[in-house]
Amino acid sequence: MASQVAPAQLEPQRVFVALGCNLGDRVKSLQKAVLAIENLVDTQALRVSSFYETDPMGPSDQPDYINAVCEFYTACEAHNLLDKLQQIEAEFGRVRTNQQWSARTLDLDIALYGQHQIKTPRLTVPHAGIADRSFVLWPLAELDANLVIPGKGIVSELAPKCPQYGIRRLQSTV
């Protein structure tokens, strides 16, 4: 009888997830989403940026967004983490469509997964638009201004150069 070997445990990765929503009670939704992420297995040392309100990217006939970024360490493989984040989105009523920049009850994107660069049909890390989005870069700068985004540069140098999207820091956070 052959013995089964357990899969090797992944080295914990420092992960940054961008959160956003523009439907319903936006602040409360992000607060609950942060708790859901914190309760994921293999997640530790969660930190959350301030919340920011921004104009919608794309069609302007939708409500403003509330955005934030959370940072944590996880031993979860990147695609498995994506599955877990999409399950949280579904629990919040997120319906995926082919329409880009549509209104959302919750959007959770893996912005960074360690210093890895991933490009698969399901996942691109660093997030494809990370260097052009103040609603990701400003919260990232709050958590770690010296963070290097692979292939893009240092957060503190990228943030002032990107479109603002009417970004406004809120007092209300987690």
* 16 in Cβ contact with 69 (< 8 Å): yes
The position carrying tokens 């914190």 is: 38
Q: Which of 31, 17, 28 is nearest to 140 (CA)?
A: 17
What SS3 state is found at 173? Answer: coil
53 vs 65: CA distance, rounded Å? 6
- List, by residue number, the catalytic residues: 94, 104, 107, 109
b/e per residue 80-107 (b: at least 16 CB within 10 A): ebbebbeebbeebebeeeeeeebebbbb
Cα Dmax for the chain: 64
73 vs 114: CA distance, rounded Å? 9
| DSSP assignment of 64-75 | PEEEEEEEEEE-
